[in-house]
Structure 1
Amino acid sequence: MIQFPPATLLLAVDMQRAFDGPSWPRRWNREADRNGLRLLEGWRRSGRPILHVRHDSAEPDSSLRPGQDGNRFRDGFEPCGGEGVVSKSVNAAFIGTDLDLRLRRLGVERLVVFGISTDMCVSTTVRTGANMGWKITLAADACDCFELPDGRGGTIPAEQVQAVHVATLGFEFCEVATTAGILGRL
């Protein structure tokens, strides 16, 4: 494995309090926060750039709407020392935002992405970014997702949702790696 260049940006997607609320289905990855915090710590120590994505819902009843407690970043995931925040209102962090412009202005060569939810905002951000030409590594063990209704009255377990989406992303859109593997390449 090659080392990550200094211009590798860590993109933390939607690490927000709302996802801990009782209205959300069951999540599965109890290590997602620990691994995400390890990535942030490693990036900060290395001096590499970090951006935080926040979902600012336009829906009036959403717990992700600005001004709601759920819109705030989870403990430990708040931006530090001038780290920027990209505010989005759709799934992809590249749509309707200045993310691409910010990355280009920073001279970013590669992205490492983690966050919530693997199958929604993380996947859509990775897919869109890859289609725009960005080289991306997904920190799969620092992502989490929810169980989903299967459309036939049953439920797809969150672990299965994660496995399928990570496999799809790795097959076509990005490199998939572990937190330990990524940190070892800094």
Structure 2
Amino acid sequence: MELQHDAALILIDQQKGILHPRLGPRNNPEAELRMLELLVFWRGTARPVIHVHHLSRSPDSVFWPGQSGVEVQPRFAPLAGERLVEKQVPDAFCGTTLEADLRSAGIGQLVIVGVATNNSVESTARTAGNLGFDTWVAEDACFTFDKADYFGNARSAAEVHGMSLANLHGEYATVGSVKQILQAGE
């Protein structure tokens, strides 16, 4: 693994709504600390940072516009010069200018972090890989929630997270830890 000098960090859905208790039990309680580690490194090395925020089309969503859940968590607030992409579906490429912006900037490598692993992270990483980007997902800088599978079997957030990462690794993305990514950038 070699981290390019212009690799973009894509930080997905770090808005207040993702902390709402109604979303249920989650895994990876230190995910935000790992995200912040990467964000500090990216900013310190002047690599591009792209914040992705969800503006839901569903009134019962924690990301419905006009209520506090849609607001960014202050610790993840974009700085001047950092790009903000607003999406209405899980995939950050769908209905946005993300691909065109990355291509016009000559960026070919992406590191994706955020929430939820099996939703916006997986969806965005699949598209990035399919579009030919060298895509990495930081497994310890993502998290998700308990979810029943298609057959109604309860699955823990850790199981959902692990299966989602397995879906991505080797086909759409390279999955690794924050430590591995930071070492690749030294």
Partner SS for 2:10: strand
CA offset digits 1:126-180 (Å, max 9, x no partner):
0011111111011110000011023555410010111111112103111111111
Please give the residue correspondences for 1:49-128 in structure 2 after superposition, counting only pairs within 5 Å.
49-128=48-127
List gaps (5 residues or longer) in structure 1. Answer: none
Distance (Å, rounded) in 1 between the aligned partners of 2:150 and 2:7: 39
Q: How many positions carry a matched residue from both structures?
A: 185
Deviations 1:5-26 (A, max 9, x none): 2110000011111111122121
Please name the residue that 2:169 is paired with.
170
SS at match of 1:66: coil
Deviations 1:90-113 (A, max 9, x none): 010000000001111221120000
One-letter identity of the residue aligned with 2:168: L
Q: TM-score, normalised by structure 2?
A: 0.95
Code of the residue aligned with 1:163 in structure 2: it is G
TM-score, scaled to structure 1: 0.95
CA distance in 1, matches of 2:165, 2:6: 24
Distance verdict in 2 for CA 1:104–1:26, change over 3 Å? same
Structure 2 residue 141 is matched with structure 1 residue 142: yes
- 2:14 alignment counterpart: 15
Q: Aligned partners of 2:73, 2:102: CA distance in 1, in Å?
A: 24
List gaps (5 residues or longer) in structure 2.
none
Write out per-residue CA displacement over residues 30-85 of structure 1, whole angstroms, 9 at most, x where no aligned residue: 11000000000000000000100001002223220222111112231110122111
Deviates more, 1:83-92 or 1:60-69: 60-69
Once residues 8 and 153 of structure 2 are traced to their aligned partners in structure 1, the CA distance between those partners, rounded to angstroms, is 39
- For the aligned residue pairs, the C-alpha RMSD in angstroms reads 1.2
- Whole-angstrom CA distance in 2 between matches of 1:93 and 1:110: 15
Counterpart residue identity of residue 38, structure 1: E
Match of 2:5 in 1: 6
